[in-house]
Amino acid sequence: MPHLSIWRSWIGTQLSPFYNCCLSIIREAVFDNNDMILEDDIVSGTSSVVFLVSESIPWEIQKVRLHNVLASIPSGSKLPLLILSSDVYDEENTDSSHTITRRLGLHDADMTRIYSFSVVFLCDNDPQLKSNGFLKDDKLREGLLWLAKHSPLQPTVSPVETHGVVLSYLRSSLEFLENGDTSYFGPNHFISIFNAALDGLVEGISAAASTNVNHWPSPEVDLLEKSSNERIFVDKHLPSIGWSSPVRIQSLIRLIKGCKLPPFLNEMPWLKEGSHMGLKIPDQKLALQECLISYMTQSCQMLNTDLAVIEAEILVQTAAYPELRGSYYYIIPRWSVIFRRIQNWRLINLKTGGCSVAYLLEQHLDRLTAIDYTHSIGAAMPLNSGSMMLDLERKISVEEHQTMHSFSTEPSFDEIVEICCNIPLAEQPMSPLPEPLYSSPMVHETGDAPKSENLAVDEDEGLKYNKSGNGENASSAISLFKMDDKLSMLLEKCTRLQDMIDEKLAFYF
């Protein structure tokens, strides 16, 4: 490629048996007839600027070209500028440097773009040296060492799975709450924790991107041969090209904020009323399910109606229980468990597409994920280390899979009610389910929701409610033996159904 040179070197140290790859990318700025830079991305990934001056070129032209280069540098880059001159001056070196900087107008330059500058004379005021066409190599080395010393440090960032970072934050927060009494916390409290985790992730992504104003690494590293050792080293240890570009960061933030949960507006006053001897438990159970269905379909627009009905039934059976206070039974939802599952549904959006991986500063990552194995990602994991990331993802997936399947080992809501209240819900008169909230199914934000045709329970084998009322059709009542048999069949079918749903969801969690 013309006007481009890539210097490669491998450097070893006494402290490590491994070699480090050092890449120096030199790119020449080409100007048009109007002294404007021809390429827009000439300074992308730049860490320093070298400008050659000569008495043979009008100083006004050189000044315009230099300031056009400086104007293309992003504000806040604070790069060093090295000016090289092959001319011989009669004055002292300090006076000559002042003359050149004055002619180039450097004292009026934007110091947020150029933080410092130095003038190096390659001929060292030796006319005979220049006449022979030779330059002093030690002077050039001196200038390059000055550039290396004053070049800004690149941000130390680590690639993370956005899904895993949010889960880590949630796990630390929820474990703290679940060690105490969670009955004082309502659904909106756990919604706030989830949204705060997403806000923390957005804050970390924005902070990391703000430190990379010059868009490092340079896009020219993509020109390295795919099979070369240098390219393998770059792919392993450097962030991807354009990781902090405004377009990518804005898209990433928009997708993450789109995962936020809306407030839970249904106050459910009947939960506080309780039920004398548990007689209203069946109706209150259905009302709780309807609230969850409404939240997942209308408020979140997360699931279609058919799948939300199944999910609400699972949530009530596994994350709610009746509590006796005097002669009244109260339904106590375990909101931490309910919203952990809802949050898992929501986080599916972070498992695919362009928002699955982000880059965070090490210090921000340590603050955001201050628990067990994710606490040391930034400090211990090599940049872009695939094995560490796979281990992290595998560990999170196993824990989430175990959490989902652990529900089936506990008594269901109906079993607890039947034991405590002596009310088999299958035989009790119940109010019919209200009309579906939506006539047409909702779809997931990132694609079609899973089909529900194969998830429906066969009505002939399912639970049929007795709507006869006050025992007027007692002759048609199902015998206790048959009812137990039907309940066993239904429980077995529900268990298979729940295991099937968990198995499908385990891919995401």
pTM: 0.70
Q: What is the pLDDT of residue 182?
A: 59
> Percent of the chain at pLDDT above 90?
38
Say how far apart CA 98 and CA 93 lie, in whole Å: 9
Task: List pLDDT tens digits, range 400-459.
Answer: 444 444 445 678 888 887 777 766 654 444 444 344 333 333 334 444 434 333 333 333
Of residues 390 and 175, which shows the higher confidence score?
A: 175
Average pLDDT estimate for 166-172: 84
Residues 6+ apart with CB under 8 A from 19: 10, 11, 12
Enter the tokens of residue 217. Answer: 């690494």
From 62-76, 201-215, 345-359, 375-389, the region with the lowest mean pLDDT: 375-389
CA distance 35 to 62: 9
Instruction: Please provide residue 126's backbone torsions phi and psi, each rounded to the nearest 5 degrees.
Output: -115, 95
Q: Name the helix (H) or strand (E) containing 185.
A: none
Q: Per-residue pLDDT for 370 more than 80?
A: no
What is the pLDDT confidence band of residue 185, given thresholds at 50, 70 and 90?
A: confident
Q: What is the mean pLDDT of the chain?
A: 76
Rounded Cα gap, residues 478 and 4, in angstroms: 86
Q: What is the pLDDT of residue 363?
A: 81
Instruction: Tell me the pLDDT tens digit for each residue of 14-49.
Output: 777 788 899 999 998 888 877 788 777 778 889 999
Where in the chain are the domains? 4-150, 157-505
DSSP 100-147: HHHHHTGGGS-TTTEEEEEEEESSTT-HHHHHTT---HHHHHHHHHHH
Q: Mean pLDDT throughout 334-356?
A: 88
Q: How far apart are CA 237 and CA 257, in angstroms?
A: 29
With bands split at pLDDT 50, 70 and 90, how would you rate the model's confidence at 177? Answer: low
- CATH class of the domain defined by 4-150: alpha beta
What pLDDT is attached to residue 364?
Answer: 78
Residue 94: C-alpha distances to residues 82, 195, 460 (Å): 15, 59, 98
How far is C-alpha 149 from the chain's CA centre?
A: 34
pLDDT at 448: 40
Q: What is the pLDDT of residue 203?
A: 93
Band of residue 314 on the pLDDT scale cut at 50, 70, 90: very high
Pick the more confident residue, 246 or 387: 246
Distance CA 221, CA 6 (A): 9
Buried b (16+ CB within 10 A) or exposed e, 278-295: bebbbebbbbbbbbbbbb
Cα separation, 221 vs 219, whole angstroms: 5
Weakest-pLDDT range from 68-72, 115-119, 154-158, 434-438: 434-438
Write out pLDDT tens, residues 470-508: 444 433 334 444 556 666 777 777 787 777 777 766 655
DSSP assignment of 311-361:
HHHHHHHHHEEEEEETTEEEEEE-HHHHHHHHHHHHGGGGSSGGGSEEEEE
